[in-house]
């Protein structure tokens, strides 16, 4: 899959921009785009999609983030192959863990370093998301937009027994353990995975 | 699980050490032919994976493989078997896995968090046909 084939625009409570595949020029482009956004009073937050060289450890950096409504969040591949995918039944029957008024997103696979995906988050609440090939290994992230609330603020099994949720998937144990708490995100605004020894 | 892992590793190593000159030539250079397909054509992965090389697999053998790995020059460097942790925890056995017909130099057993095609934690059992020094050059 080429980087250009992943170029896409979509709405997710706002504007999203995906997969420009800028290769070695990505940093310059990011800086330029950041300047443009700041000039128009739009906020941009960056999340790196990381891995160790062997693919044994994978993570979003930061794993927890607080933003104001209207902020654009950009995920960029640094190592390995990843996705940024919202917890939502439309995404392979995952449970709803973003605000009910928000549109789910799925970056699809971002294969090459520098490939990236953006979404603008306008509906307040908690947004939980995962990396499709690494969810079972605990590669997930959480964003609080404005103030905590919505399905993402509920316990993982809140939906059990509700009509229409029969085919929803459980959040894997490793993913449950990896999410930073909402309280920690509200206190620190950016939560990073602790530095790995390997 | 440890017993299963040991059995699988021994089986893989024994199979990899077999030598069958009648088919050796076909698999020692990319593409290996037969039912093998380039992995990057099957799932969204780069053609060349740093540290491993360019992979080919018979889709009927997924997820275990073998995946045949080739260097930049198209020379066979390893056979890789991908064993999901959940299968090991379930004490699942893997028998009669195919092997490339080349002399084994060494074996690596490496944990992987997942990737397209095997999107779950698993182990890579890598049967190398080249030295550790040559294997290290695959990272470039």
In sequence order, the 6+-apart residues with CB closer than 8 A to the CB of B65 are B57, B79, B80, B81, B82, B97
Closest CB to A56 among B44, B113, B139 = B113
Asked if B119 lies within 8 A of A111 by C-beta distance, the reply is no
Each residue's pLDDT tens digit, A113-140: 999 999 999 999 999 999 999 999 999 9
Average pLDDT for B11-36: 65
Cβ of A137 and B114 within 8 Å? yes
Query: Would the pLDDT of B139 be above 90?
Result: no
Q: Residue A167 pLDDT more than 80?
A: yes
Query: What pLDDT was estimated at residue B100?
Result: 84
Query: What's the rounded mean pLDDT across residues B23-45?
Result: 87
Mean pLDDT for chain A?
84
Answer whether residue A149 shows pLDDT above 90: yes
Who has greater pLDDT, B11 or A5? B11
For A103-110, what is the mean pLDDT?
Answer: 97
**Peptide bond connecting B53 to the previous residue in cis, omega within 30 degrees of 0:** no
Within chain B, strands assigned E span 37-38, 48-49, 53-57, 67-70, 76-84, 106-112, 122-128
Which of A21, A53, A55, A92 best tests the B interface by mutation, with the highest count of B CBs <10 A? A55
Residue A46 distance to chain B (closest CA, Å): 23
A80·B115 Cβ contact <8 A = yes
Task: Give me the count of residues in chain A.
Answer: 198
Selecting from A81, A112, A135 the residue whose C-beta is nearest the C-beta of B116 gives A81
Task: Please tell me whether the peptide bond between A195 and the residue prior to it is cis, using omega within 30 degrees of 0.
Answer: no
> Cα(A17)–Cα(B116) distance, rounded to whole angstroms?
23
A171 touches chain B (CB under 8 A): no
In the block, tokens 């330029």 appear at A32
Q: How far apart are CA B4 and CA B123, in angstroms?
A: 13
Q: Cβ distance A60 to A141 under 8 Å?
A: yes
Q: B107, B123, B126: which is closest to B115 by C-alpha?
A: B123
Is some CB atom of chain B closer than 8 A to the CB atom of A163? no
User: Which pair of tokens denotes residue B98?
Assistant: 């195919």
> What is the sign, positive or negative, of the torsion defined by CA atoms of A2, A5, A7, A9?
negative
ipTM at complex level: 0.75
Residues of chain A contacting B121 with CB distance shorter than 8 Å: 136-137, 174
Is B51 in Cβ contact with A56 (below 8 Å)? no
**pTM of the predicted protein model:** 0.79
Helix (H, G, I), strand (E, B) or coil at A115: coil
A132 Cβ partners below 8 Å, 6+ apart? A83, A85, A92, A106, A109, B119
- Return the residue in B38, B48, B49, B114 with the most chain A beta carbons within 10 A, the one to mutate for interface testing: B114
Asked whether residue B55 carries a pLDDT value surpassing 90, the answer given is yes
Q: What is the pLDDT of residues B94-115, one digit of tens each?
A: 999 988 888 999 999 999 999 9
Name the token pair of A123: 């509906």
Q: Does residue A57 sit at the B interface (CB-CB below 8 Å)? A: yes
- Please report residues of A whose CB lies closer than 8 A to that of B116: 81, 109, 133
> What's the token pair of residue A124?
């307040």
Considering only CB atoms, which chain B residues are within 8 Å of A80?
A: 115
Contact list in B for residue A54 (CB cut-off 8 A) is 51, 110-112
Burial-class residue A35 by CB neighbours within 10 Å (0-12, 13-18, 19+). exposed
Q: Where are the beta strands (DSSP E) in A36-188?
A: 44-51, 58-61, 64-67, 71-77, 85-86, 116-121, 125-130, 140-145
The confidence score (pLDDT) of residue A195 equals 60
**Is the confidence at residue A150, as pLDDT, over 80?**
yes
Q: Phi and psi dihedrals of B41, rounded to 5? A: -90, -15
Chain A residues touching residue B115 (CB < 8 angstroms) = 55, 80-81, 133
pLDDT tops 90 at residue B67: yes
Residue B17: the pLDDT is: 45
């Amino acid at each position: 899959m080429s980087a250009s084939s992943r170029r896409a625009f979509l709405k997710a409570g706002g504007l999203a921009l995906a997969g420009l595949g800028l290769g070695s020029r990505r940093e310059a482009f990011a800086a330029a785009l950041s300047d443009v956004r700041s000039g128009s009073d739009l906020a941009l937050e960056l999340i790196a999609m990381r891995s160790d060289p062997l693919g044994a450890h994978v993570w979003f950096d930061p794993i927890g983030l607080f933003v104001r409504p209207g902020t654009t969040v950009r995920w960029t591949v640094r190592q390995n192959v990843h996705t940024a995918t919202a917890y939502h039944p439309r995404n392979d029957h995952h449970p709803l863990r973003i605000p009910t008024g928000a549109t789910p997103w799925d970056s699809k696979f971002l294969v090459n370093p520098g490939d990236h995906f953006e979404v603008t988050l306008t509906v307040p609440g908690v947004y939980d998301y995962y990396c499709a090939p690494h969810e079972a290994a605990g590669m997930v992230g959480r964003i609080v937009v404005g103030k905590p609330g919505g399905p993402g603020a509920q316990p993982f099994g809140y939906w059990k027994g509700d009509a229409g949720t029969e085919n929803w998937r459980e959040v894997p144990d490793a993913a449950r353990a990896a999410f930073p708490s909402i309280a920690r995100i509200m206190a620190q605004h950016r939560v990073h995975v602790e530095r790995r020894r390997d | 699980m440890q017993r299963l892992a040991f059995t699988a590793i021994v089986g893989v190593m024994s199979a990899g050490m077999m030598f069958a000159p009648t088919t050796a030539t076909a698999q020692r250079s990319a593409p290996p032919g037969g039912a093998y397909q380039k992995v990057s054509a099957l799932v969204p992965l780069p053609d060349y994976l740093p540290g491993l090389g360019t992979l080919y697999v018979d889709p009927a053998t997924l997820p275990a493989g073998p995946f045949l790995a080739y260097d930049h020059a198209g020379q066979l460097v390893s056979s890789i078997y991908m064993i999901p942790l959940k299968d090991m925890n379930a004490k699942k056995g893997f028998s009669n896995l195919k092997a490339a017909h080349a002399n084994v130099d060494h074996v690596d057993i490496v944990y992987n968090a997942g990737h397209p095609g095997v999107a779950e934690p698993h182990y890579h059992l890598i049967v190398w046909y080249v030295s550790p020094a040559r294997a290290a050059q695959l990272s470039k």
